[in-house]
Structure 1
Amino acid sequence: MRLAVIDPLPMYRQGVVSVLSAAGHVVETPDDLLAWLRRGHDGLVLLTLDTSTSWDALGRLRAATNEYPVIAMLAEESAAAGAKAVRAGARSVLPRGTSAAVLTRTVEATAGGQAVLPAEVVAALLSGVASTDRGESMLTAEQRVWLRYLADGMTVARLAEQVGYSERAMFRLLQTLYRRLGARTRIQAIVRAQEQGWLVQDVTDPGLT
């Protein structure tokens, strides 16, 4: 079985390659995944989902071909993220920090046509996942705008200037927002917001001038 491992951390990739190579698989870490897929033969993709770019890559992969099963490796254990990955085309879902034994068994099961999912992801899929509306009630329209601007690359200093806060006050407000989302960092908060669909422009949202 040919495997492609896509992850931003070289040491992590090396560890996965070592584990799966020892199990008898041919493992590669292609820079261009679609070019790797075009080479043909049976294969399987292990794709770490940790940023909006990696989620986009999953979408492009499924749009390009349905022949290659994907194991989504979640940087954060989240039932909502796991359910979203399955809906986006992943066959199996694993936390990125899983053990070598579980990783090997999951690869073999997925290659054999099975789907391997954490119990909480299955429950989320069956229940339709937590309601987005309920989650959105946690945030004001203005806070969702802040997240969209941060996702677009705006600095905290620039955001503070836009909305009329000092940079220090803006930083405190964002830290409170991150905690409300169950995130520790800006990236985690943006990923969480994207998972919930909160980065989609709403015509009722207030603009920033």
Structure 2
Amino acid sequence: MAVHVAVVDPLPMFRQGVATVLSAAGHDVETPADVLAWVRRGQRQVVLLTLVGEPDWELLGRLRDAGGTHAVIVLIGADDPGALLGARAVRSGARSVLPREVTPGALRRTVEATYDGQAVMPAAVASALSSAPRADAVPEFLGARRLSWLRQLATGMTVAQLARRSGYSERAMFRMLQALYQEMGVSTRIQAIVRAQAEGWLRADADAPGSRG
């Protein structure tokens, strides 16, 4: 059974390696410049999409909204904190999740299983998905000010813009955000936003401790 596969990754060598592995297993592999046009062919297809930055997340959402019979497997780096990025990817339209460092055998098996309608993902991702966010579980260390920062960053605001709005220098804002990320158990802005979204902290009905009344 040959599966039609599109590989979307920023590194040409990675795309070539994936194409070699899957082509050797008898699958039809392409690296289309416009993957949205590719899925509109109407065939049953599988898209392998590496998530690196926000444009990749936007593409995942567009693939979800495109309809059709294609399924998306996302590839995520090993720095995913607690599998939260994988859980976010599934909620955003991915059927399966793999680490980018996946072995050739696991890649082949996942492509074939996903094509057959199964969902394949690490146990940590499944566990993260099964943990329902609670709007009343905003931790004490966050506070109204820090929660506001996360919400503004989640809208796409830059650190420089946030600093100006908050009345701090950009360097001071950066230091305070790094301290916040450390307390959250993450290391980057996108990881912090993903965790806050997964925990339900960014929801409109989620109030920081001490902000009620």
Give the TM interval when normalised to the shorter protein.
Answer: 0.7 to 0.9
Q: How does 1:73-92 map to 2 (within 5 A)?
A: 73-75=75-77, 76=80, 78-92=82-96
Please name the residue that 2:104 is paired with. 100
Residue type of the partner of 1:96?
Answer: R
Query: Partners of 1:12 and 1:195 in 2: how far apart?
Result: 30
Report if the CA contact (8 A) 2:95-2:114 is conserved. yes
Could you tell me which runs of 5 or more consecutive residues in structure 1 were left unpaired when the two chains were aligned: none
Using structure 1 for the length normalisation, give the TM-score: 0.78
Query: Partners of 2:119 and 2:160 in 1: how far apart?
Result: 45
Aligned-pair CA distance for 1:36: 0.3
Please name the residue that 1:35 is paired with. 37
**Are residues 122 and 158 of structure 1, via their aligned partners in 2, closer, same or farther at CA, if it must alter by over 3 Å?**
closer
Please name the residue that 1:59 is paired with. 61
**Are residues 43 and 146 of structure 1, via their aligned partners in 2, closer, same or farther at CA, if it must alter by over 3 Å?**
same
Could you tell me which runs of 5 or more consecutive residues in structure 2 were left unpaired when the two chains were aligned: 209-213
Aligned-pair CA distance for 1:172: 1.3
Please name the residue that 2:175 is paired with. 172
Q: How does 1:1-209 map to 2 (within 5 A)?
A: 1-75=3-77, 76=80, 78-125=82-129, 127-129=130-132, 131=134, 133-134=136-137, 137-196=140-199, 198-199=201-202
Report if the CA contact (8 A) 2:136-2:207 is conserved. no
Please name the residue that 2:211 is paired with. none
Deviates more, 1:42-51 or 1:128-137: 128-137
Percent identity, please. 57
Report if the CA contact (8 A) 1:52-1:194 is conserved. no
Using structure 2 for the length normalisation, give the TM-score: 0.77
Query: Partners of 2:106 and 2:66 in 1: how far apart?
Result: 29
Report if the CA contact (8 A) 1:77-1:95 is conserved. no
Report if the CA contact (8 A) 2:84-2:194 is conserved. no
Residue type of the partner of 1:163?
Answer: S
RMSD after superposition: 2.9
Report if the CA contact (8 A) 2:88-2:194 is conserved. no
Q: Which has the higher relative contact order, 1 or 2, with Cα contacts under 8 A spaced 6 or more apart?
A: 2
